[in-house]
Structure 1
Amino acid sequence: MFRARIGEAVIALTDGGSYAEFVATDQALALPLPDSLDWIAGAALPEALFTIWFNFVELMRITPGEQALIHGGASGVGVIAIQVLRALGHYVFATAGTSEKRDAARALGCKAVFDYAAPDLAAQILAATAERGVDTILDTSAGAHLANDLAALAPGGRISHLSAGGGKSLDVPLRSLMARRASITGGFLRSTPLPLKRRLAEALRVNVGPLLGVDVRPVIDSVHALARASAAHTHMEASRHIGKIILDVGPLD
């Protein structure tokens, strides 16, 4: 089990309550902060990294050579996911809602980026993959693109959901599901048992830790003082941001 040295700079996954100057978390959920990254950059990493590994590796079992599609490629999770998967050797595709966001995702290494509102989205994805389709899809939209996702999946493909949409029911076209031999999954990271979170952390330290600050660098949209957290949420809800929105607690004595 990872044990940080007293005074060592680390970043860590928490179970909430992290809008604060001080937080407590299980020490095994900490990752060393690379010397090349400051605290603002470090704050953008833990939740995104655990989310990416949990969904792509633990739930969807992505294997070498498989391709990934990320809905919301310019989001806080998306910008890190693109870089991590690219660094691990996967072709990555993404969707985004504006040309600026699509340009940002493309600049991070996506093979192609699509407008998620395009009526022929699935056809575009299939064309970009030589009609094979993608193997894994990370859906951040509570299933809003499910029909297109299933149509764009490679045989045996998997879809994982980050959002339950406030308890939304998922209307699954079974014929498409069965034709693709597809799997649909998802999970809440916060309620994941601690032993699994520890295993995710160890996998991140081994497989992704050496990439941080080198092949994987956070994209910071904006930084807000902790006292202005409500303004940060307003900015996030406007959905114009690219990358992570950070709350800064200020200097600590």
Structure 2
Amino acid sequence: MKAVIISKPGKPEVLQVQERDIPKPKAHEVLIKVKAAGINRPDIIQRKGFYPAPPDAPADIPGLEVSGTITAKGPDVEHWQIGDEVCALVAGGGYAEFVCAPAAQCLPIPEGISLIDAASLPETFFTVWNNIFDIAKFLPGETVLIHGGSSGIGVTAIQMVTAMGGKAIVTAGSTEKCGICESLGAIKAINYNEEDFEEKVMEYTDENGVDIILDMIGGDYGPKNINILKPKGRLVMINAMKGKIAEIDLMRVMKNQLTITGSTLRPKPIDYKGKIAQNLLKHIWPLFDEKIKPVIYTTFPMERATEAHQLMESSKHIGKILLQNTETI
């Protein structure tokens, strides 16, 4: 099979197409013939040499989410059949013509969604459910501030929070991006290049603040986040693009009984991710295509993964970037 590999840590140009053996599914795994794969920030970090793959994933083939057709099964796989079309969360290896996935981390293609577009779903939907709904324990009626509202995570979080009875406020980097976020259901979008999000959130909420913050930025966002959380509010970190060190007011944390938490999903055990998959299937998948939809910015042939990474790093995109195997184009 053909696979996009990281030839050495570095810039997008280190991605190369090579021939590799088709993997064989182990117990509780399925082999997927990949139609498309999603691009995510962890892929960029891995390519740079700072986010190594776990031991059970290919060391040099990135890719955390795919869509495609099951072509083989390992022992003890009962729910899925050869020929089933699925999307799946994987620990790596998605930038290839074939990849093995834990059966528990596969989901059927949602009603009304194409097989290609379904590749955009697993990583962001698993991440948002894990952090907002499981860890932060979202309740209907709560207000969630989502930083990076036009990112893949952002457009997913807006739709999931809104569909589940919450209110989403977002930050984004341009007027265009803010408009897209509001069209997806955000009640307020703040252009962080023109406005101070702390001031605007407090102004918009009549000084009440928000219940939950989903933050992938870190750094100097830390103290502002603490200042705009309601009593018993929850700050959930999923990345730290502006730095892992932040100075916060601990007295405010104690006074308002705030929770500061976060997670990384990739190293979690299969059973943990399998439970997220079941919650998505029960609560979110029935909401396609009326209340939730994929937001795809563009799709590249697998051989142009370098360009896809360049686009991801430019942050010019809105929503998801996909790679598609050329035989399916």
Specify if TM > 0.5: yes
**Unmatched runs of 5 consecutive residues or more in structure 2:** 1-76
Which of 134, 140, 149 is matched with 2:216 structurally?
140
| 2:226/2:248 contact within 8 Å kept | no
* Residue 106 of structure 2 is aligned to residue 30 of structure 1: yes
Q: CA deviation at 1:166?
A: 9.2
* Residue 150 of structure 2 is aligned to residue 74 of structure 1: yes
Q: Which residue of 2 aligns with 1:241?
A: 317
Q: Higher mean Cα deviation, 236-245 or 112-121? A: 112-121
Q: Helix, strand or coil: the match of 1:188?
A: coil
How far apart, CA to CA, are the structure 2 residues paired with 1:22 and 1:178? 50
**How many residue pairs end up in the alignment?**
252
| 1:2/1:28 contact within 8 Å kept | no
Q: Which residue of 2 aligns with 1:128?
A: 204
Q: Helix, strand or coil: the match of 1:241?
A: coil
Q: Which residue of 1 aligns with 2:12?
A: none
Partner deviation per Cα, 1:70-99 (whole Å, 9 max, x = no partner):
001100111111111111110111000111
| 2:232/2:256 contact within 8 Å kept | yes
**Structure exhibiting the larger radius of gyration computed from Cα positions:** 2
Which of 92, 110, 130 is matched with 2:186 structurally?
110
Task: Give the TM-score of the pair, scaled to structure 1.
Answer: 0.93
Partner deviation per Cα, 1:205-229 (whole Å, 9 max, x = no partner):
1000101222111111111111110
How far apart, CA to CA, are the structure 2 residues paired with 1:165 and 1:82? 20
The structure that is helix-richer by fraction is 1
**Unmatched runs of 5 consecutive residues or more in structure 1:** none
Q: Which residue of 1 aligns with 2:91?
A: 15
Q: Which runs of 4+ in 1 moved over 3 A?
A: 117-120, 164-167
**Root mean square deviation, CA, Å:** 1.8
Matches within 5 A, 1:169-208: 169-208=245-284
Q: Higher mean Cα deviation, 216-225 or 166-175? A: 166-175
* Residue 274 of structure 2 is aligned to residue 163 of structure 1: no
The structure that is strand-richer by fraction is 2
Q: Helix, strand or coil: the match of 2:150?
A: coil
Q: Which residue of 2 aligns with 1:87?
A: 163
Q: Helix, strand or coil: the match of 2:98?
A: coil
| 1:93/1:112 contact within 8 Å kept | yes
How far apart, CA to CA, are the structure 1 residues paired with 2:162 and 2:285? 15
Partner deviation per Cα, 1:91-124 (whole Å, 9 max, x = no partner):
1110001111111101111110112245642221
How far apart, CA to CA, are the structure 2 residues paired with 1:200 and 1:143? 29
| 1:223/1:248 contact within 8 Å kept | yes
Q: CA deviation at 1:165?
A: 4.4
| 1:156/1:180 contact within 8 Å kept | yes
Q: Which has the higher contact order (CA 8 A, sep 6+)?
A: 1
Q: Higher mean Cα deviation, 34-43 or 48-57? A: 34-43
How far apart, CA to CA, are the structure 2 residues paired with 1:79 and 1:2? 34
Task: Give the TM-score of the pair, scaled to structure 2.
Answer: 0.73
1:17 partner amino acid: G
| 1:143/1:161 contact within 8 Å kept | no
Q: CA deviation at 1:24?
A: 0.8
Q: Which residue of 2 aligns with 1:5?
A: 81
| 2:223/2:247 contact within 8 Å kept | no
| 1:71/1:141 contact within 8 Å kept | yes
